[in-house]
Amino acid sequence: MIKPFKIGDIEVKSPILLAPMAGVTDYSFRILCKELGAGVVYSEFVSAHGIIRENINTLDLIKFYDEERPIGVQIFGDYPEVMAKAAKYVVDNFQPDILDINYGCPVPKITKKGAGSAALKDLVLMKDITQAVVASVPEVPVTIKMRAGWDLQSIIVEKAGELLEKASVKAIALHPRTAKQTYKGNANWELIKLLKETVSIPVIGNGDITKPDDVFRMYEQTGCDAIMIGRAALGNPWFFKQANALLHGNTAPEPTIQERVELCKRHFDLLLESRGTRKGLYLMRKHFGWYIKSFPGAADFRVRLVEAESIDSAKSILDEII
């Protein structure tokens, strides 16, 4: 049985966590996942350079509300001094519960700048960045989200784990693919087990979780302390409710079509309220694609929603589904 655990002094009541996802984990999505049982939610990853320049669009990604706590803000960057300044700015101005460093993003526009998973190629840089961030925010637990290595010839799980624990990070989330794999092939859960055997701080498993039963399978195979959910939660915030029910020996049914559409509508309203009508409609299009599926006629409704040119027309289509 997976049990509650702590990240530093932060008590995490449910070990099923929402992963940081660019363009997805804004307030509107986070709060739904939190309400449905996510133990910790994370912001989208935020540029350290954008933070210290006080870029408005960057800082907007960090904003959150108390009902989302415990919440982590994830930052990425390539220079220890910049990362340290950004971490301190975030903590001083936003007071998140957790500050997370991204060593996992495999997107070329990030790695070409030396950030994200590019740090996996340079453990000295990883050490310097981590130590600088930890020293800059001693009052907040610093955690890491990382991949297993840059490529299959350079798996660094043990070395990185030892280095990060010595740098006083409070937990490590591991997606056990390499940066070069992106999301192809299978996530090697044995590497999560290896990391758990290497360090004494909490290890959070991530990767190839598609249904609630996979949470238990990962836990049993790896012994990890928590599970971080990414793509399985897209259009499916109920995942957290279902997984937590299983934790307690119960079951939570699949949402009905009406429940799915009603939550989609609420998500839409939250997005319009928090991001504005024009941007909210644009941002919701991908969520329509994730929510509206797995029932007769879903494909046609999905196309119409994605092509909807106004809020009223989109809401009318949602009502038509019900």
For residues 154 and 180, give the distance between their C-alpha atoms in angstroms, rounded to a whole number: 11
Element (H, E) at 146: strand 142-147
Query: Which of these, 163, 23, 193, lies nearest to 101 by C-alpha position?
Result: 163
Backbone angles phi, psi at 98, to 5 degrees: -140, 145
**Which residue do the tokens 């290497």 mark?**
198
Amino acid at 187: A
Distances (CA, A) of 233 to 17, 33, 74, 212, 273: 10, 8, 18, 10, 22
For residues 100 and 97, give the distance between their C-alpha atoms in angstroms, rounded to a whole number: 10
Q: Catalytic pick from 33, 105, 224, 264?
A: 105
Residue 105 annotated to the active site: yes
For residues 147 and 179, give the distance between their C-alpha atoms in angstroms, rounded to a whole number: 7
- What residues are annotated to the active site? 105
